[in-house]
Chain A
Amino acid sequence: MRYMTAETAEAASSALAAEPGLARVLAGGTDLLVQLKAGMIRPDLVVDIKKIPGIREITAENGGWRIGAAVANAELKEHPGVKADWPGVVEGANLIGSTQVQGRCTMAGNLCNGSPAADAVPGLVAADASVTVVGPSGTRVVKVADIPAGPGRTTLAKGEIVTAIHLPAKAARSSDAYLRFIPRTEMDIAVAAAAVSLTLSEDGTITAARVALGAVAPKVVLADASTIIGTKLDDAALAALAKAAEAVCNPIDDKRGTIEFRTSTAGVLARRAAVIAYNRAKGVK
Chain B
Amino acid sequence: MALDDQKRAFKYVGTTPNRPDGVDKVTGKAQYGADITAPGMLMGAVLRSPHPHARIVSIDTSAAEAMPGVRAVVTGKDFPAVEDQGFADIGETCMARDKVLYDGHPVAAIAATTPAIAKAAIRAIKVEYAPLPHVTDVDEAMLPDAPVVLEGRALEHVPAGMSQNVTNTCEFGHGDLEAGFTKADLILERSFKVGAAHQGYIEPNACMASYAADGRADLYCCTQGHFFVRAVCSALMGMEASQLRVTASEIGGGFGGKTTVFVEPVALMLSKKSGRPVKLVMTRDEVFKATGPTVHASVDCKIGMTKDGRITAGDMTLRYSGGAWPSGTIEMGAQAGFAAYDMPAVRTLGWTALTNRPKEISYRAPGAPQAVYAVESLIDEMCQQLGLDPVETRLKNAARKGTLSSYGVTFDDIGMVATLEAAKAHPHWSAPLGPNQGRGIAAGFWFNFGGNTCVSLNINADGTASVTEGNPDIGGSRASISLMAAEELGIPYDNIRTIVADTASLGYNDNTDGSRVTFAVGLATIKAARAAIKVMCDRAAAMWGIDAEAVEWIDGAAVPAGPNAGKFPPMSLAEIAAMSFQTGGPIAGHHEVNVDGAGVSFGVHICDVEVDPETGHTLVTRYTVAQDAGKAVHPTYVEGQMQGGAVQGIGWALNEEYIYGRDGRLQNAGFLDYRIPVASDLPKIDTVILEIPNPGHPYGVRGVGETPIVPPLAAVTNAVSRAIGKRMYQVPMSPPRIMTTIKGK
Using CB atoms and an 8 Å cutoff, list the residues of chain A in contact with chain B.
Answer: 38-39, 181, 183-189, 191, 254-258, 260-261, 264-265, 268
Contact = CB atoms under 8 A, between A and B. Distances in A.
Given A183-B617, A255-B668, A261 B735 contact: yes
B395 to A, nearest CB: 35
Interface string B278-313: 000001010000000000000000000000000000
Contacts of A258: 736
Query: Which one of A188, A254, A256 has the highest number of Cβ atoms from chain B below 10 Å of its Cβ?
Result: A256
Interface in B641-668: 654-655, 659, 667-668
Interface stretch (B399-407, B436-444, B676-684): B676-684
Contact of B678 (A39, A185, A260): A185
B680 A185 contact: yes
A257 B738 CA distance: 12
Query: Which one of A39, A255, A258 has the highest number of Cβ atoms from chain B below 10 Å of its Cβ?
Result: A255
Interface residues of B, number: 24
Contact of B667 (A185, A191, A255): A255
A250 to B, nearest CB: 17
Interface in B704-745: 734-736, 739
B119 interface: yes
Contacts of B616: 261
B680 A186 contact: yes
B681 A184 contact: yes
15 contacts: A38-B283, A181-B615, A181-B617, A183-B617, A184-B680, A184-B681, A185-B681, A188-B675, A254-B667, A255-B659, A255-B668, A255-B673, A261-B616, A261-B735, A268-B615
A255 B737 CA distance: 12
Contacts of B675: 183-184, 188
Given A183-B675, A184-B655, A257 B736 contact: yes
B614 interface: yes
Contacts of A186: 678, 680
A155 to B, nearest CB: 27
Contacts of A260: 736
B578 interface: no
Please classify the interface of chain A as helix (H, G, I), strand (E, B), loop, or mixed, using the class held by over half of its residues.
loop
Interface of B: 119, 283, 285, 614-617, 619, 654-655, 659, 667-668, 672-673, 675, 677-678, 680-681, 734-736, 739
Given A39-B119, A189-B672, A184 B677 contact: yes
Nearest to B677: A184
B680 A181 contact: no
A268 B86 CA distance: 53
Contacts, number: 51
Contacts of A38: 283, 285
Contacts of B680: 184-186
A184 B614 CA distance: 16
A44 to B, nearest CB: 15
**6 closest Cβ contacts across the A-B interface?**
A261-B736, A185-B680, A255-B667, A268-B614, A255-B659, A258-B736
Contacts of B678: 184-187
B459 to A, nearest CB: 49
Given A184-B675, A185-B678, A255-B667, A264 B739 contact: yes
Contacts of A255: 659, 667-668, 673
Given A255-B673, A257-B736, A183 B668 contact: no
Contact of A183 (B283, B285, B659, B735): B735
Contacts of A188: 672, 675
Contacts of B739: 261, 264
A183 B734 contact: yes
A260 B737 CA distance: 11
Contacts of B655: 183-184
Contacts of B672: 188-189
B104 to A, nearest CB: 14
B654 A185 contact: no
B615 A265 contact: yes
Contacts of A265: 614-615, 735
A102 to B, nearest CB: 15
A40 B736 CA distance: 29
Contacts of B736: 257-258, 260-261
